[in-house]
A and B are shown apart, each in its own frame.
Chain A
Amino acid sequence: MADQTVPLGNSLGAAYPSSGTFLEWLHSWVVTVDHKKLGILYIAYGLFFLLVAGAEAMVIRYQLAFPNNHFVSPEAYNQIFTMHGTTMVFLAGMPIIFGLANYMVPLMIGARDMAFPRLNAFSFWLTAFGGLLLYFSFIGGFGLYGMGNAPDAGWFAYAPLTGSAFSPGHSMDYWALALIVAGFGTLGTAINIVATTLSMRCRGMTLTRMPLFVWLMLIVSAMTLLTITPLTAAQVMLLLDRYLGAHFFDAQAGGAPMLWIHFFWIFGHPEVYVLVLPAFAIANEVIPVFSRKAIFGYPAMVAASAGIGFVSFTVWAHHMFTVGMSWVGNTFFVLSTMVVGIFTGIKIFNWIATMWGGSIVFATPMLFCIAFVFQMLLAGLTGIMLSVAPWDWQLHNSYFLIAHFHYVLVGVIVIAIFAAFYYWYPKATGRMLSERLGKWHFWLFVIGFHVTFDTMHFVGILGMPRSIYTYQADRGWNTLNLVISLGAFLQGIAVAIFVWNLIYSYFRGQEAGSDPWDAWTLEWATPSPPPAYNFATEPEVRSRRPLWDLKHPSDPDWKYEA
């Protein structure tokens, strides 16, 4: 079968015209409503906070590396682990994911921009300023004229610890208000993605031909609309408690701290899937391209994603087994949690089936995706373990749970995000990331990850509680904690290599061309980086792999797709 070289007429121009002075360049970014620039802003912002939260993790691990350590004070330690969790979820994970969606969704569906470009800019800046407001608490927690104090009640901010009696000053006010501001930004972006996906697809792109990345971002955005709202409502109630003397969460005045826990986890558990489904979305794009095969079981993948989205709203109280629920409640949430395993199992089988028999190219994005599939299985298994109520009773407040959580958030989500960086960086910058540095990054990170989080399961089983400041030398946790910390520093080195790769390759990287991976979705039919208008003429697609159809006109996919 011969190659087909297909010029796309005027549709594809060069990248942005050269900019003028630095101020003009800066101004163009501040006033932009271009989805690609906003996507890059989101990602750069998220990456910055990923580094900040990573630095906080390093402090935590140094503090716990040795028994009776006093590297930081107990007060500072509480602030650091609270900010680490809050930052990773709200200021690093969400912005990077929505940044990817911002950049890729219009390109993948053949649109010029998002449905509401100005709302898109407004959403990003809200998110950005919300994050800055949260970090301003380090210096402004008691007001501009006082000493600062950052939130220190854990990222879940359980009542009554967040009440004014136990958290005086403004620390929790900063937490609530900053996240409300950032949350409205997230809602705006979610509305934008839903509207864009449903109303701006190019000709021929039916729902059954949409790239799986777009499908999953649609599901994630719909979930976001449902998950952020209960959190925002609870935060408003918390502020009413703290400012106006309401008693929603004050047990002594007839309120219910349990109400906060319900509200938080009705947000919190779907939020995990809001973060992890985009990781699945990334794998859905990368694995087929580097396996040189179409994705296996496209309809099943869509159905499983929608199933995960639905079921994720029925499992929140598995975070609450230890608060003491009725056996009916325990049984329901055990079973509903286990159902998630069916959908994720379908996905894992389909990724493996996609790779099966393919001509696999072990480039860095694919390496990260293979690690992702492996990690997904492990994280799922530890999740199934914790879904069993008696097991959870024993280990919920131990480092076993922290290990499981990081198996998901780092082992699945962060690793998939790394894959996305290596896969789409050439599209956004026109330069390839260094494969050599990428492989150093991959191996150091994966090894460091397992050294840290595999070991963390054991220290949890041995009874080390979560969130403790330090521990006595006779508890039998010394060596394990040192190993965990060494693994964390190895991950830190890997991330430093990654950041250096981003910077180095931007200036010295190999020219990428429009389609360096020989891929099949529409974003690769534009120059790298794409022009402001994406496509000069509206593309028309006839299958799920429009570029395959162009490259192989005698053997197009549309013949096979019902």
Chain B
Amino acid sequence: MADENIHAQPQHADGKHIQLPAPTAWPIVLAFGCTMAAAGPLTSTGIGILGGVMMLAGCIGWFREVLPHEHHEQVEILDRPVVVASRRALVERIQLDPRHRAHVPVETYPVLSGIKGGIAGGVAMIIPALIYGEIAEHSIWYPVNLLGGAGVINWQHAPNAVIAAFHWDTFLIAIAIHIITCLLVGLLYGAMLPMLPRHPVLLGGILAPLLWTGLLHSFMGVINPALADRIAWGWFLVSQVTFGVTAGIVVARQERIPTGQSLPFAARLGIEAPGLLLSRPDAGSPVDKNKDREDRH
């Protein structure tokens, strides 16, 4: 093996020495000269002139170092062989299940199921929100205006009576925000629920809204302090959980479809090339490639 990998011919005629570039002081002289020349305008003309002289001397010395023939030194080859050996004798290949590349999720819900879940959850969460408005401010428009006016500067310091009244503009904005957000979160649920290990509805419907509400609670004071003061976080959590559970149930009741993740790449592209799917006989399975692992004794 050594013969295969190490070129055995000595690199110099006598086989005992190697020719290397000779050490030289001219590079440091030239560098110091350049620096002194640069320092000239900062210090005094004399320093600059001295730098120029050193640069000239450095260049001449350097040229004489390589012209007409480059200077070399002979370095003796020290005969002290190095042993190239591994302390880890055993090469253990990672044993792969044929389904190893069958990524989660093997099956997922169709896009439509996420949209359905989002719509259902969006409708359901309106109910606790309106109940809150009616109980807290005696107006169902209060939570609507909070949502629609969240980013409007004029609403930052509006009195409660104004926020409790009906306004077309904030109503339409709130509807748009609500629809878009519910559809997007519904799609997210459709994509994520198959990946949650157990009790997807419980995790997606309760735990995720809980985390989301906590995150929003910590952020909202920085992003929009006026809005943060008006949000009743308990009611907010109830409406989020209502959305999550409803959307989760609707999505989970839909029929799953295979994702195609477990199919070879070529097959997923629709290429009919059986040769591409076979492994090289000398290289093992393509799945095993780059998966070697060594273990200690």
B partners with A: yes
Please give the residue numbers on chain A whose beta carbons come within 8 Å of chain B beta carbons, in ascending order: 1-14, 28, 30-34, 112-113, 117-119, 121-122, 125-126, 128-130, 132-133, 136, 140, 143-144, 170, 173-174, 177-178, 180-181, 184-185, 203, 243, 292-294, 296, 357-359, 461, 514-515, 518, 525-527, 531-533, 536-542, 546-547, 549-553, 555, 559-560
User: When the two chains form the complex, which single residue of B21, B41, B289 contacts A118, counting CB atoms closer than 8 Å?
Assistant: B21
With A and B bound together, what is the CA distance between A538 and B8 in angstroms?
8
Q: Which residues of B contact A10 (CB under 8 A)?
A: 10, 15, 77, 79, 81
Q: Mark B86-114, 1 if CB is under 8 A from A, else 0.
A: 11111100100000000000000000000
- The answer to whether B82 and A12 touch across the interface, beta carbons within 8 angstroms, is yes
Q: Which residues of B contact A180 (CB under 8 A)?
A: 38
Q: Given A243-B41, A550-B2, do A126 and B85 touch, yes or no (CB 8 Å)? A: no
Q: Is B62 an interface residue when CB atoms closer than 8 A count as contact?
A: yes
With A and B bound together, what is the CA distance between A30 and B31 in angstroms?
12
Q: Is B196 an interface residue when CB atoms closer than 8 A count as contact?
A: no
A322 vs chain B, min Cβ distance (A): 20
Q: Is B28 an interface residue when CB atoms closer than 8 A count as contact?
A: yes
18 A-B contacts (beta carbon < 8 Å): A4-B84, A5-B84, A10-B15, A10-B81, A30-B25, A121-B24, A121-B28, A125-B27, A129-B34, A173-B41, A177-B42, A292-B295, A518-B87, A532-B75, A536-B18, A537-B7, A537-B11, A551-B86
With A and B bound together, what is the CA distance between A359 and B289 in angstroms?
17
Q: Is B272 an interface residue when CB atoms closer than 8 A count as contact?
A: no
Q: Which residues of B contact A28 (CB under 8 A)?
A: 23
With A and B bound together, what is the CA distance between A514 and B84 in angstroms?
9
A129 vs chain B, min Cβ distance (A): 4
Q: Is B271 an interface residue when CB atoms closer than 8 A count as contact?
A: no
Q: Given A6-B1, A8-B2, do A551 and B85 touch, yes or no (CB 8 Å)? A: yes
A458 vs chain B, min Cβ distance (A): 10
With A and B bound together, what is the CA distance between A404 and B95 in angstroms?
42
User: When the two chains form the complex, which single residue of B18, B80, B293 contacts A293, counting CB atoms closer than 8 Å?
Assistant: B293
Known: A5-B83, A129-B32, A514-B83. 11 other contacts (CB 8 A): A3-B89, A33-B22, A118-B62, A126-B31, A180-B38, A243-B41, A518-B88, A536-B10, A539-B5, A540-B6, A560-B290
B85 (CB) vs chain A CBs: closest residue: A5
- The answer to whether B11 and A538 touch across the interface, beta carbons within 8 angstroms, is yes
User: When the two chains form the complex, which single residue of B5, B27, B30 contacts A541, counting CB atoms closer than 8 Å?
Assistant: B5
Q: Given A181-B35, A185-B31, A553-B1, do A1 and B293 touch, yes or no (CB 8 Å)? A: no
- The answer to whether A125 and B28 touch across the interface, beta carbons within 8 angstroms, is yes
- The answer to whether B80 and A14 touch across the interface, beta carbons within 8 angstroms, is yes
User: When the two chains form the complex, which single residue of A1, A7, A144, A559 contacts B91, counting CB atoms closer than 8 Å?
Assistant: A1
| Count of residues in B whose CB is under 8 Å from the partner chain | 64
Q: Which residues of B contact A514 (CB under 8 A)?
A: 82-83
Q: Is B231 an interface residue when CB atoms closer than 8 A count as contact?
A: no
Q: Which residues of A contact B15 (CB under 8 A)?
A: 10
With A and B bound together, what is the CA distance between A189 and B10 in angstroms?
30
Q: Which residues of A contact B282 (CB under 8 A)?
A: 559
B71 vs chain A, min Cβ distance (A): 10
- The answer to whether A12 and B80 touch across the interface, beta carbons within 8 angstroms, is yes
Q: Is B9 an interface residue when CB atoms closer than 8 A count as contact?
A: yes
- The answer to whether B84 and A118 touch across the interface, beta carbons within 8 angstroms, is no
User: When the two chains form the complex, which single residue of B23, B65, B80, B289 contacts A527, counting CB atoms closer than 8 Å?
Assistant: B80
Q: Is B43 an interface residue when CB atoms closer than 8 A count as contact?
A: yes
Q: Given A13-B79, A130-B35, do A552 and B21 touch, yes or no (CB 8 Å)? A: no
A104 vs chain B, min Cβ distance (A): 18
- The answer to whether B23 and A33 touch across the interface, beta carbons within 8 angstroms, is yes
Q: Given A10-B15, A121-B27, do A184 and B5 touch, yes or no (CB 8 Å)? A: no
B222 (CB) vs chain A CBs: closest residue: A461
- The answer to whether B43 and A144 touch across the interface, beta carbons within 8 angstroms, is yes
Q: Is B20 an interface residue when CB atoms closer than 8 A count as contact?
A: yes
- The answer to whether A8 and B81 touch across the interface, beta carbons within 8 angstroms, is yes
Identify the 5 closest CB pairs spanning chains A and B, nearest first.
Answer: A13-B78, A125-B31, A129-B35, A122-B27, A121-B27
B89 (CB) vs chain A CBs: closest residue: A3
Q: Which residues of A contact B175 (CB under 8 A)?
A: none
A294 vs chain B, min Cβ distance (A): 5
- The answer to whether B5 and A540 touch across the interface, beta carbons within 8 angstroms, is yes
Q: Given A129-B32, A129-B35, A133-B39, do A33 and B83 touch, yes or no (CB 8 Å)? A: no
Q: Given A129-B31, A143-B43, A537-B6, do A177 and B38 touch, yes or no (CB 8 Å)? A: yes
Q: Which residues of B contact A294 (CB under 8 A)?
A: 290, 292
